[in-house]
Structure 1
């Protein structure tokens, strides 16, 4: 048997699978390339804790190397998405921390958003009921959002004496719903209804509550069946081009598309088209 080359060993060391992963602070399942994260403290409207923040951050970092996850759905248990940081388990202790430790916390929460934006898999948030504070940020940091008429979106930071510039909100939210609408939500902390969120472009569509997770999963399955390497490039470019000029973006996309043209999925798509069949993408 031929020994693996050093390059093969390096690549193998960077790949991972998440089959069998056991989450400690939220629900987790993986089927047919679609990972489902369920925030599962329904009696408190699914708030985040120090531990769940950190585990979510670490999980999304691992997704960058996961070969068996093609798309991600995140939702809340019961009739709510997420009420934000737990008042007693996070906000209470923060009041007594010195500045250096406060900065450690805010950087850690920001790292969750960075990990979500930099993992290659498209993330779909299924938002029902309360979606507030850090929960609103998690939905915002996802690539797509499905909501319901009873969804209540609120960036509550100003209500607790904080600025609206939390976890990238002042950068990302205006790009989704516009500067004026983002300013209104971040300054007032008021709730936006599901209809408002849909009209503003925060939600891709509204669903019946009973069908919300199923619709999000169906969308994730459609994405997972596509050219996943190319999807990762699309997500990378959507994020990277925020800080580029048009000329830089066009050149960057030319390079990115040329990379995708070198994949086997591109070749498979051509042969399937020629044979008048549906391509079966494999992500390579």
Structure 2
């Protein structure tokens, strides 16, 4: 990605702003590389001080962009693609959709034949550049895939998957944040019940979750192998784990993931 590369974010909401912030942290990019749009762009005008172009006109934003990122709601994707299609150049532009459930085939049907298209699914940790972003594409090559990964690596890590797994990625990576947060809330409630004030309990739980994730990531351990390290015979850890399992902890987690997946697949 060179210093003249242009990225347009159409419908720049919370996720779009996370991407903007992540991209501005990249040494090779500045605000001059970015164009953002919103129906009522006044709330984005503060970005102009960083050299970013802020527009209400999607066609104008898309026309000169090398990569067009669609940050609009799923029900607006067709309308926006129809709007910008006349100014797109399939031979040099990459079209990226962040919309849940919008397939590559759907995008292709609203674009010029042969267009390079990607579906991308980040999560809300993009706000702190800690997202896991799953992506898939069509009519792409190593170079175009690399460009998309460069953009979304600015908000975390990127994984290329097959399209039939995109809904599963939404559940595990995007909805999964909520599942982990609910677990953390329950842990905090338990901490309060055994004597901590809410603030201290939350601090302990938060760092414990961070530590557990870092341990798995850095050591390359399976979670069960890490659990074995802290479950001593007749100890309090195995006592607590067994009590949770008796009440269906793991089964409830799996059932929750499957319930979300069944809904998104409808």
TM-score bracket, normalised by the shorter chain, equals under 0.3
More helix by share: 2
| Structure with greater contact order relative to length (CA < 8 Å, sep ≥ 6) | 1
TM-score if structure 1 supplies the norm length? 0.25
TM-score if structure 2 supplies the norm length? 0.26
Higher-Rg member (1/2):
2
